[in-house]
Amino acid sequence: MIILLPLHTEVLPVKYKRILLKLSGEALMGDKEFGIDHDRLNQYAKEIKQIAEKDVQVAIVIGGGNIFRGIQANQENEFDRVQGDYMGMLATVINSMALQMALEKVDLKTRLLSAIKMEQICEPFIRRRAIRHLEKNRVVIFGAGTGNPYFTTDTAASLRAIEIEADIILKGTRVDGIYSADPEKDKNAVRYDKISFDEVYKKGLQIMDLTAFTLCKENKIPIIVFDMNKPGNLNKVVLGEQVGTLVEF
């Protein structure tokens, strides 16, 4: 008599238990000129589910540039800066709601917390409540930036990462890391596997706006910049594999 034993797949330990994932609004456009590409949105949801099932606590901040870019509008003298920034914050809430729906379609429990009160559609941001949601393995999405004009969603991501005591900020982009120059314009641009915060300052590399980057440096929050559009990359990052560029101390 032959007894077949069940196969056991090895579960690799994760390197980061609590992450802040920063996504750009433009990334949601896919190949469109504006708006939301549902295929891209669903891809992100599946990627996030893959790491959430490893008991990684996931918090997300997403931009709104696919709907409204306040700074650009302000530079063209179309809007008052403060008014334009608030419009941008509302755009991030729209993206957050779309991402929340995509995550719930793949059976993830989520909570949307907004820096601006909108009781009918999301909870107000309260630090202790956000941490408690994460401890209950709910994916937490932070909308409306910091709730203040003159601050970007990069700054919101840095601030929220500090407040929830995240292990790291994962900045998902369309490029595979940090380069010495724009790789889309300079074929000789060199990609870094690792780089220090001080080197980023010295080389004048633009990873985040200066306020956001300085918040991370002063509070010792490392950053990984990676290609979010390549399937499996997010999972590799949380497992500690060499993906993208690590900004460390």
Looking at 136-209, list the stretches that DSSP marks H as alpha helix, in order from N- to C-terminal side.
153-163, 197-203
Question: 174: how many CB neighbours lie within 10 A of its CB?
Answer: 12
For residue 33, name the pLDDT band (cuts at 50, 70, 90).
confident
Average pLDDT, the chain: 91
Q: What is the pLDDT of residue 115?
A: 97
Q: What is the pTM of this model?
A: 0.91
Extract the runs of DSSP E, i.e. beta strands, from the chain.
18-23, 57-62, 110-114, 123-124, 139-143, 168-173, 178-179, 191-192, 194-196, 223-227, 245-248
Query: What are the pLDDT digits (tens) for 183-208?
Result: 878 889 999 999 999 999 999 998 89
**Owner of token pair 């000789």:** 188
pLDDT at 153 over 80: yes
Q: What distance in Å separates the CA atoms of residue 178 and residue 197, rounded to the nearest whole number? A: 12
Amino acid at position 103, single letter: L
Q: What pLDDT score was predicted for residue 5? A: 55
Sign of the four-CA dihedral 204, 210, 216, 220: positive
Q: Which tops the pLDDT comparison, 161 or 81?
A: 161
Q: Of how many residues is the chain composed?
A: 249
The answer, yes or no, to whether residue 74 has pLDDT greater than 70, is no
**CA-to-CA separations, 14 to 53, 141, 184, in angstroms, rounded:** 11, 21, 32
